[in-house]
Structure 1
Amino acid sequence: MGSIRQRRPNRDGGAEQRNILAAAASGVAGFIGRHGGHAEAVFEQVGIPGERLGDPVLPLDLGAYCAMMELAAGDTGNDNFGLWFGQQFQPQALGLIGEIALAAPTLGGALQALAELFPFHQQATETRFASEGERVRLEYRILDGSILARRQDAELTMGMFANVVRTCLGPAWAPEEVWLEHPRPEAWRDHDKAFDAPVHFGQRTNAVVLRARDLGRRMPGGDLGRLTELRARLIALAGGTGHTPLLDRVRAEIRSRLPEGEARVETVAAALGMARWTLQRRLADCGLAFSDLVDQVRRELAAAYLRQPHIPLSDLAFFLGYSELSAFTRAATRWFDLSPSQARQRWCGIGEAS
């Protein structure tokens, strides 16, 4: 069985490793077709050969995979493509990482294994198992800040995680709540319906929240010996959790903190495990200041979300870390030579009522 390691040049002059096993796309061609899309055209646009999806242990580039899901949403005309694809995606189809979760002796063990090992299945990714009183949550986010459009991936991954829990607690189980890092989409009521739980948008990370008291429940197919074997196979196959260039890691940390207010260099440096002055020096070596990256991330997100007319400008300003719409308006005018409403009107061909 070959390694999945692939290394790509990046703009910092190093190399990045950010693969995902093709098992994550199991059944996507049929799902696209059933929703009126053209799978081969989608695969061709992102440069993924359709036959590559037939082997669950072959690597796909994570950026191309995320782009595939976004294009599938557009091609099918189903803006909630990832949401519904994830709801029907069973752990058995997820390859080694799905088998690992199913082989854990308890639900808590399954979620701990997902948190520890998912970055081997999908590199350049952070998964955490966090406890807060009577609730726990399985968190997920992509660490590569260069992957800008990733809403569909986030929604399908939360569906996959929820289905691991349903394997243990039954098909009627529902999360306590679900977190998603992107702004609220137009058909957001479908999300509450799909998860049968409150869904919160614009969060720092994506997460499925459940009750801690359920963690001791036995997984129906638990097998500790098989879990150990599968764990070793996945780690050997992946060879690591991937490498993300510093600038893209910083961009990802900035993005995750903007909805909480303006990202601060101290907070981002701590998240990266380094001192503030070390981060500033390394950015200076790349010819950048921290404030430059904050501005770049805001500009890129603004350009993407202004093209989604259902997002009110006041919400968008908050999502980008501005406390007032007037501050966002000044920034957008500097970036685009257009106010936010003018940019939206020009890019979408419509007016804006905020």
Structure 2
Amino acid sequence: MTDPAALPSVIAGYTGAIGRALEAAGVPSGPVFAAAGIEPPGRNDPLERLSTRQVTDLFRICVERTGDPYFGLSVARYIHASNIHALGYALMASRTLWEFCLRLERYFAIVSQAAVLRLERDEQRVLLHFDPRTPLCGETEDAFQAFVLRFMRLLLNAPLAPSRIGLMRACPAGGAEPYYDAFGTMPTFGCREGLIEFDAALIDQPLAGSCPDLAQFNDRIANDCLAKLSRSDIVARTRAAIVEQLSSGHCTRGQIARELGLSQTVLQQRLGERGTGFHELMEETRRELAMGYLRQPELSITEIAFLLGFTDASNFSRAFKRWTGQAPSSVRA
């Protein structure tokens, strides 16, 4: 049986931040990458991947060479939106931090397939759960959670301290103070999963950098990347094909099945195994695209209707009211 830790799972562009953190610590990055058997950071292609084991080995050597047990926290300061390709730019253009979280959850596999991000929300709190699929090194956990917080603070342009942080790793011998400096909250170590919890009141504030058309453009690229990464994931492949075909006016189950090289029966069967169906997936995709289009004032309601594959604006309006209980013009206003 193949060891999951040996399978490609992590976006390779992430190593660019590791290299910059090494250089900032006065350690030449080339010999470190060579010792880990990894090519130095090159072009930023989301389909270029590293295994969890490769990343673990790289971080182990980084800690040895720098003598810094908190090296993962240092790496977070050098991760740029571009290191996670189109997803990074889509996140930057999010309307609110809640939209940021939803987008990160949906496309998290682009960043890593070694864990699953799961959101939970009620009236008081929002939780980001990081469920590992394979054992992760502590530096990976440190780097990613610290990066998410830095990114959210940058977009909010205000202090943002989580009400709770949970880490699976053990606390380094030097103590937890560097974590408090990075997170603004003292974490709990040795948890079953990674966890970040926020006050829900903070998460719906409008973000100054919101740009719906840019977010939607990069969502399309991220959606395509996700489908390419997840060839065995029939939901991701079907969603990508729907997005591609909607504006043609020929987005039928038969057409999408042909695009995927499947019969209609097999397509529906495989979607059913994932707890959905073609009609449900098409409705969900149309609804999500519609909300993005309505935030673009240059698009008329009629143009949006045709972009979503409706024959006229009245059909779109009826569908939108069924989805949301409101008319498109009301949501836009």
* TM-score, length of structure 1 as denominator length: 0.59
Q: Deviations over 1:254-292 (max 9, x none)?
A: xxxxxxxxxxxxxxxxxxx9xxxxxxxxxxxxxxxxxxx
Does residue 42 in structure 1 map to residue 39 in structure 2? no
Structure of higher RCO (CA pairs closer than 8 Å, 6+ residues apart): 1
Report how far residue 77 of structure 1 moved. Answer: 0.5
Matched AA of 2:110 = F
Decide whether aligned partners of structure 1 residues 153 and 51 sit closer, same or farther in structure 2, where only a CA change above 3 A counts.
closer
- Tell me the equivalent position of 2:319: none
* Residue of 39, 45, 60 corresponding to 2:49: 60
Matched AA of 2:197 = V
Report the Cα distance in structure 2 between the residues aligned to 1:116 and 1:97, rounded to whole angstroms. 10
* Equivalent runs, 1:151-230 vs 2, <5 Å: 151-187=138-174, 188-230=176-218
Does residue 79 in structure 1 map to residue 66 in structure 2? no
- Tell me the equivalent position of 1:99: 89
Report how far residue 92 of structure 1 moved. Answer: 5.2
Matched AA of 1:237 = C
Report the Cα distance in structure 2 between the residues aligned to 1:179 and 1:242, rounded to whole angstroms. 32
* Equivalent runs, 1:200-349 vs 2, <5 Å: 200-238=188-226, 239-241=228-230
Q: Deviations over 1:81-134 (max 9, x none)?
A: 001221453445542222121122111101111011111232232001112551
Decide whether aligned partners of structure 1 residues 133 and 201 sit closer, same or farther in structure 2, where only a CA change above 3 A counts.
farther
Does residue 138 in structure 1 map to residue 128 in structure 2? yes
Report how far residue 152 of structure 1 moved. Answer: 0.2
1:48 alignment partner, SS class: coil
2:229 alignment partner, SS class: coil
Query: In 2, are the aligned partners of 1:87 and 1:194 still within 8 Å (CA)?
Result: no
Decide whether aligned partners of structure 1 residues 87 and 176 sit closer, same or farther in structure 2, where only a CA change above 3 A counts.
farther
Decide whether aligned partners of structure 1 residues 79 and 196 sit closer, same or farther in structure 2, where only a CA change above 3 A counts.
same
Query: In 2, are the aligned partners of 1:56 and 1:95 still within 8 Å (CA)?
Result: yes
Report the Cα distance in structure 1 between the residues aligned to 2:154 and 2:125, rounded to whole angstroms. 19
- Tell me the equivalent position of 2:2: 10
- Tell me the equivalent position of 1:312: none
Report the Cα distance in structure 2 between the residues aligned to 1:19 and 1:88, rounded to whole angstroms. 21
Query: In 2, are the aligned partners of 1:42 and 1:72 still within 8 Å (CA)?
Result: yes
Report how far residue 61 of structure 1 moved. Answer: 1.3
Report the Cα distance in structure 1 between the residues aligned to 2:22 and 2:194, rounded to whole angstroms. 24
Of all paired residues, the percent bearing the same amino acid is 17
Q: Deviations over 1:184-226 (max 9, x none)?
A: 2212221112212121111121122211011211122222222
Report how far residue 156 of structure 1 moved. Answer: 0.5
- Tell me the equivalent position of 1:303: none
Report the Cα distance in structure 2 between the residues aligned to 1:62 and 1:90, rounded to whole angstroms. 21
**Equivalences, count:** 231
* TM-score, length of structure 2 as denominator length: 0.62
Report the Cα distance in structure 1 between the residues aligned to 2:120 and 2:149, rounded to whole angstroms. 16
Query: In 2, are the aligned partners of 1:176 and 1:198 still within 8 Å (CA)?
Result: no
- Tell me the equivalent position of 1:121: 111
Please identify the structure whose Cα radius of gyration is greater: 2
| Structure 1 unaligned regions, length at least 5 | 1-8, 244-272, 274-354
Decide whether aligned partners of structure 1 residues 242 and 37 sit closer, same or farther in structure 2, where only a CA change above 3 A counts.
farther
- Tell me the equivalent position of 2:260: none
2:95 alignment partner, SS class: coil
- Tell me the equivalent position of 1:19: 9
Root mean square deviation, CA, Å: 2.8
1:208 alignment partner, SS class: strand
Query: In 2, are the aligned partners of 1:20 and 1:60 still within 8 Å (CA)?
Result: yes
